[in-house]
Amino acid sequence: MKRSLSGLDIITVSGELQVLVGSRVDKIYQPERDEIAISTSSKGSGKMRLHVALSGWIWISAAQSDMPTTPSNFAMQLRKHLSNGIISAVNQHGLDRIIEISVQKQEEYRLIFEIFGDGNVVLVSGDKIIAALRIRKWKHREIRPNSSYAYPPEAFDPRNASDEKLNDLILTSKADMVRTLATRLNLGGGYAEEICLRAKIDKGINANELGEEELDRIKEEIHRLIGDFETGNFFHISTENDKPVDISPIELRLDDRRQTNKFSSFSEAIENYYHSTPKMEPGEAKLNDEKERLERTLSSQEEAVQRFREEIDRAQKLAEHIFSNFGLTSALLDKVKASVEEGTPFKEFEMIDPAEGVFSAEISGEVMNLSWRKDVTQNAQFYYEEAKKLRDKLEGALEAIVETKKKLENLEDRELVLRTEEKEKDRRTKPDWFEKYRWFRSSEDVLILAGRDAKSNELLVKKHLKPGDRYVHADIHGAPSVVVKSKEGQTEATLREAGEFSLAMSKAWNAGLAGGSAYWVTPEQVSKTPESGEFVPRGGFIIRGKRNYMEKLELRLGIGICSVESKRKVMCGPLPAVAKHCSSYVEIRPGDVSKEKAAKLLAARFSAAISDIQAVLPPGSVDIREKD
């Protein structure tokens, strides 16, 4: 699924935004933390609204959707400087995902949208930053009010490259064709594949193995693709299984096996796509941009390695060539030296550095630089030393490649974590009211609720302990209060299960006790009003009258998946209750497996969210025992 616009896409967007030139800036909004909307009006276009989502999207629409009535502080800053100003220009910076809007008032302002990574909005007057949504600092630049604005290092733009440059980038690449186009030529993965399809070239072929005809086809399709973006007229969303997966302003061969929905403008398609697809998290956007940057870095490093190897080979050969032509080289050096000392000009040699005596000459078909201030051996030694210096650089470049590959591997691990977290969100079930407490349904189908802490103990008894219910508490300090809801036909079995639950959710679990006791009372016996001289801590209650004790309660629980009103829930409770309601479950006792590790194991066992498992586990390490 496409998660943001590419630099190529923004060529088309920039063209559509030209309708804003000449419009007046009315109001500026910040509907979400990472979104900016600018309302404009003009006689020709009427009221329009520019929308920018810093995760990688920008479009214009009619000013119809509701906006916040109270502007954010940042929106107020922008309004102060830009409201009633006239938009004089809208430009894309190179092939970067940067849109710059010039607004003319008494002075000219530039509102710069950087829609990559976590994104930024920067207001500039001259070169001075007036305001910025995010304060940022990098090695090469800083975004901070009162500092000078500098663009990020500009990405390669194939529109400004000569054929020779394109040839060099492709033929010196060590990567396959699609990766070379995506990273070295800055075309992105999807459009790189499109070029290979159009040129009828296997995307997996090594780029440096292309023949002259294949190379010409690739370059022709690059220029044709860029031309398509400049005149974009096939605004569409591609879908698979009725789900949007891609968006583009041009017709794509990649879409031959997909369904496409066409729109009247690219902005309309973007707005529809943006609101119908999951939003990219800031962390994911950062990872995507970091991955693109590292891939470009790796490509440049591999290019440098290739160049160093060729230069080492060249220097080594020149040194050997000088020795192989010792007599010719010696005679040439004497001739040039005499010419210089006599002050007579010579036409067959080009002087490179008179101070060092360096000149260019051809010896037996090899053009090289020599110095008449050195003898033959010294000139050869110069090239040997040059080869040694280049080997040191080569070693450094190879180490840098290893480091970059490690960073990419780490990035893949971080992507895996993000994907796992996304799966976690998908697996997470919507909580019901009773899940703010600990809970289970007894073997007699009675709802049992327990506090999670002092605050929820108070809330539980105050809101949910009703006449006819029972209050249960383990006979150990700090155990949670448990409310057994009234139900016709329930027996002591349910009360014992509630007692086991209170015991298990107390410090008895961490202590590794084998069992214990608990008691139950009626609601009338539970009070928060102390007698004279008594103190009732938060979450604690005073029990008056007889306590009905339950002895020999076991310290063990079950955990499994049950269905509550057709909703899948993770339930943890006494074994008889879990066995009654869960078709698949495990038994847990105090043990040596940490709560965090147990949650991961059980989440995998039951295809549940880790957070849902953690929410129901008792307070301590466990021993997991499978049940048939």
pLDDT digits (tens, 9 = 90+) for 500-539: 999 999 999 988 888 999 999 999 999 988 777 777 777 7
- The reported pTM is 0.55
For residue 138, the model assigns a pLDDT of: 85
CB of 276 within 8 A of CB of 244? yes
pLDDT at 276: 86
Residue 59 sits at φ, ψ, to 5 deg, of -160, 170
Please count the other Cβ atoms lying within 10 Å of the Cβ belonging to residue 250: 24
The predicted model gives 83-110 an average pLDDT of 96
Give the CATH number of domain 158-283.
1.10.8.50
Residue 217 has pLDDT above 80, yes or no: yes
Residue 378 φ/ψ, nearest 5 degrees: -65, -35
Residues in the chain: 628
Say what the pLDDT of residue 537 is.
79
List, in sequence order, the alpha helices (H) in 558-594. Answer: 575-581
Evaluate whether 237 touches 244 at the Cβ level (below 8 Å): yes
> Is the confidence at residue 279, as pLDDT, over 70?
no
Paired with 102 in beta bridges are 89, 110
Q: Is 238 helix (H, G, I), strand (E, B) or coil?
A: strand
What is the predicted pLDDT for the residue at 349?
76
Q: Is the pLDDT of residue 110 over 90?
A: yes
- Asked if 340 and 357 touch (Cβ cutoff 8 Å), the reply is yes
**pLDDT reading at 405 higher than 90:** no
Q: Distance (Å, rounded) from C-alpha 277 to C-alpha 189?
A: 20
Q: How far apart are CA 221 and CA 223, in angstroms?
A: 5
557-564 and 585-593 as β-strands: parallel, antiparallel, unpaired?
A: antiparallel
Query: What CA–CA distance (Å, rounded) separates 592 from 126?
Result: 65
The pLDDT score that the predictor gives to residue 177 is 94
Nearest to 601 by CA among 591, 589, 586: 586
Superfamily of domain 7-143: ibrinogen binding protein from staphylococcus aureus domain (2.30.310.10)
**Whether pLDDT at 35 is above 70:** yes
What mean pLDDT comes out for the span 232-251? 91
b/e burial code for range 439-452 (CB count within 10 A of at least 16 → b): bbbbbeebbbbbbb
- pLDDT higher than 70, residue 178: yes
CA distance 107 to 105: 5
Q: Which two structure tokens, joined as six digits, stand for 485?
A: 């809801």
Task: Break the chain down into helix, strand, coil percent, rounded to 5.
Answer: 45, 25, 30
**pLDDT grade, residue 128 (50/70/90)?**
very high
Residues pairing with 238 in the sheet: 246, 260
Residue 462: the pLDDT is 92
Mean pLDDT of 255-267: 91
Lowest mean pLDDT of 151-160, 284-293, 375-384, name the range.
284-293
What's the whole-number mean pLDDT along residues 220-246? Answer: 92
Q: Which amino acid is at 183?
A: T
Q: Is the pLDDT of residue 282 over 70?
A: no
Residue 584, both tokens: 């698949």
How many other CB atoms sit within 10 Å of the CB of residue 5?
A: 27
Mean pLDDT estimate for the chain: 90
Q: Quick check: 472 and 499 in contact, CB under 8 A?
A: yes
Residue 29 and residue 65: Cα distance in Å, rounded? 12
> How much of the chain, in percent, has pLDDT values that exceed 90?
68
In the chain, the percentage of residues whose pLDDT exceeds 70 is 94
Strand order in the sheet with 236-240: 243-248, 236-240, 259-262
Confidence of residue 464 (pLDDT cuts 50, 70, 90): very high
Query: In the chain, what is the straight-line distance between the N-terminal and C-terminal CA atoms, in Å?
Result: 42
* pLDDT of res. 418: 58
Mean pLDDT of 332-342: 88
Q: Which residue has the tokens 């480091």?
A: 403
**Domain coordinates in residue numbering, the chain:** 7-143, 158-283, 301-400, 433-626
Residue whose structure tokens are 């038994």? 587
Q: Per-residue confidence at 414, pLDDT binned at 50, 70, 90?
A: low
d(CA 185, CA 213): 19
pLDDT of residue 284: 61
Q: Categorize the per-residue pLDDT at 297 as very low, low, confident or very high, splitting at 50, 70 and 90.
A: confident
Closest CA to 570 of 588, 556, 580, 558: 558
Question: What pLDDT, on a 0 to 100 scale, did the predictor assign at position 191?
Answer: 95
Mean pLDDT of the 35-44 span: 93
CB-based contacts of 324, cutoff 8 Å, min separation 6: 364
CA atoms within 13 A on the CB side of 299: 26
122 beta partners: 112, 132
Per-residue pLDDT band for 44 (boundaries 50, 70, 90) equals confident
Asked if residue 322 lies in contact with residue 196, where contact means CB atoms within 8 angstroms, the answer is no
Contact (Cβ atoms closer than 8 angstroms) between residue 177 and residue 187: no
Q: How many helices (H) and strands (E) does the chain have?
A: 16, 29
Q: Check if the beta carbon of residue 14 is closer than 8 Å to that of residue 99.
A: yes
For 620: left if phi > 0, alpha if psi spans -120 to 50, otherwise beta; the answer is left
Q: Are strands 98-104 and 470-474 parallel, antiparallel or unpaired?
A: unpaired
Q: Residue 70: which residues within 8 A CB-CB, separation 6 or more?
A: none
Q: Which residues pair with 240 in a beta bridge?
A: 243
Of the candidates 524, 452, 522, 512, the residue with the CA atom closest to the CA atom of residue 481: 452
Question: What pLDDT is recorded for position 175?
Answer: 86
Lowest-pLDDT choice from 344-353, 453-462, 540-549: 344-353
Q: What is the spatial distance between Cα 98 and Cα 152, in angstroms, rounded to a whole number?
A: 10
